Structure 1
Amino acid sequence: MNSTPATVLSVAYTAAKLQARLAKAKKAHDELICAAYRAQGDALNIEAQAKRRLADEYDAAQARGEVARLGDNLPRVTTRNASKPTAADVGISRQEFHEARQIRDAEKRHRGAPQGRINRGKPPRENSSRQSRV
């Protein structure tokens, strides 16, 4: 098979066009993925802020004596404590309060850890604040 210079140039031009189109598509893909990571990180930050606030509010209510504390249901405690609402009365499990406190405490220790992953072009981890607790 005998190739003419025009044929070789045509193939090279077509390959270069294809490569440029793929590079443009790859760049658009990467930008969309980064935007999705930022949105995901923002959502996780909002959730973490809500949980920190929940932990702070519940701990403050316990300190003020507005809700029951650990041990308020023991027999040696006066009966006036029996009427205090508990975590279950509030509609949130003790486990959720525990997790909210853990997230709050982890955020205090490691401020901005998920944002650092996003800035490096990596997705935030939903459990990043849980991992930083251990």
Structure 2
Amino acid sequence: MHYENLMFFHLGTVIPCFFIGAFLLLRPKGGMVHRSLGKIYMSLMMITATTTLFMANKVGPTFLGHFGYIHLFSFLTIWSVPTALFAIRQGNVKRHQRIMWSLYIGAILIAGGFTFVPGRYMYGLIFG
């Protein structure tokens, strides 16, 4: 799949995560709305992280001819989502909360912020 197609697919999955994640983190926990939106959020996060693994790094150092530092956030997501799900199913609410906050801050806010660095696709799309 062409890089630009992957980018738009990625944006189609990550933009809803920005809003759903913020809503989930700021609203009451544990109810049906939280659980339902949480399933959607976790599914979209896994899809968006997996998608990024097919997108070659275009800025900065490259590892194995494909991955860049920003891909670490993809691996963080692929680890965090099932770990947070396992934690809540085990009744470990604090661990679940800690992981979900870390995931949102790391994979949505920090990684998202890095996409607006000059030379990256989003920088060119917005400021180009």
TM over 0.5: no
Structure with max Cα Rg: 1
- Larger RCO (CA within 8 A; separation ≥ 6): 1
